[in-house]
Amino acid sequence: MERFDDIPETALAWRRAGKGAALATVVETWGSAPRRVGAQLAISGEGDMAGSVSGGCVEGAVITEALDAIESGERVLLEYGVSDGDAFAVGLACGGTIKVLVEPVGGAMPEALLAELVAARAAREPVAHVTGEGVTPRLDREGHGERFRADRSGIEADGKTCVIIHNPPLRLLVVGAVHIAQALAPMARIAGYDPVLIDPRPAFAAPGRFPGERIIEDWPDEGVRGFGLDTRTALVLLTHDPKLDDPALMAALGSDAFYVGALGSTRTHAKRVERLRAAGLDQAAIARIHAPIGLDIGAAGPAEIALSILAEMTRVLRTGQ
């Protein structure tokens, strides 16, 4: 998935400021296209731009088309490829081909629909913007299950309907501000997560150990409940202390978090399972825990363990397993 950004919000602000606006979205790619499907570019009627649909290759051409679309109010579907003379002229010589849907706000895309989309994004509500040739634009909050799970926008089988997925940004809640967390937090941020650390122990939760990161000095179960685990949140427990990890697990296993992982050996996890069963959790809930945490890559040291955790999180996010 692309990092969460403010492209729709920017387009709405430009429209409301009287500048005019259009949204351009990559809806299909072939070969080595520079941006994935769903990448967006906002263009104002004064030629301002925010975002990217090609990493700089075709933006100039898209802006020209977008300015025309703002004037006409009509959507336009553009295609650029290495064999296309116009695409070569603007620099798409990497062997890829892309289709870009341009929708003028207030025209093909009603301003009210864009405002609803922006409100859903602010509320961390997953929505699909459905549009295309002969399609009345709408927002879907149900259906498109596989597209939501995989962050996969694109054109449907009819070749006309475009489904543009807007998922909330990814979040990572780390219980235990330990040495592994010091490596995991910056790695997760690079991968597109917003990391937050919870630890009630002042010596561990010292800001100097995690420059620039958000730290919550609270008991993990209270912190987990207050955080609001949803389908775009991963929870990692690293304290190795049942007094801290177990209450957090019991608070988390009934949530919608897409990933729950806990540090510890096979023997440690077996003891954890016994405690959770004794506390009344059923097998289905306990089976959600990924433990020992991380992919088995023979990791040695905090950085490699953090890498294995992030890799497992990615696998679960993208494949559901």
Q: Model-level pTM?
A: 0.73
Q: Return the residue matching tokens 């010589």.
A: 93
Could you tell me if 195 and 81 lie in one domain? no
Exposed (0-12), middle (13-18) or buried (19+): which is 17, by Cβ within 10 Å? exposed
Domain contains 112: yes
Could you tell me if 11 and 156 lie in one domain? yes
Residue where a domain stops, chosen among 118, 141, 166: 166
Residue where a domain stops, chosen among 166, 196, 224: 166
Residue where a domain stops, chosen among 144, 166, 188: 166
Task: Report cis status (omega within 30 of 0) of the bond before 292.
Answer: yes
Could you tell me if 28 and 61 lie in one domain? yes
Domain contains 1: no
The residue range of the domain holding 50 is: 7-166
pLDDT of 4 over the 60 cut: no
Could you tell me if 12 and 161 lie in one domain? yes
Could you tell me if 175 and 160 lie in one domain? no
pLDDT band at 1 (very low <50, low <70, confident <90, very high): very low
Residue 225 maps to which CATH number? 3.40.50.720
Q: Provide the pLDDT for residue 32.
A: 60
pLDDT of 92 over the 60 cut: no
Number of structural domains in the chain: 2
> Which range, 72-86, 90-104, 134-148, 268-282, has the best average confidence (pLDDT)?
268-282
pLDDT of 166 over the 80 cut: yes
Q: What is the pLDDT of residues 248-295, one digit of tens each?
A: 999 999 898 999 999 999 999 999 999 999 999 999 999 999 999 999
Euclidean distance between the first and the last CA atom of the chain, given in angstroms as a whole number: 18
Cα 195 to Cα 97: distance, rounded to the nearest angstrom: 35
Q: What is the pLDDT of residues 23-77, one digit of tens each?
A: 999 988 876 666 778 889 999 999 999 988 876 678 889 999 999 999 999 999 9
Of 242, 244, 237, 193, give the one whose Cα is nearest residue 218: 244
Q: Return the residue matching tokens 């790619």.
A: 29
Could you tell me if 161 and 16 lie in one domain? yes
Could you tell me if 89 and 202 lie in one domain? no
- Contact status, residue 49 vs residue 12, Cβ threshold 8 Å: no
Q: Provide the pLDDT for residue 90.
A: 47
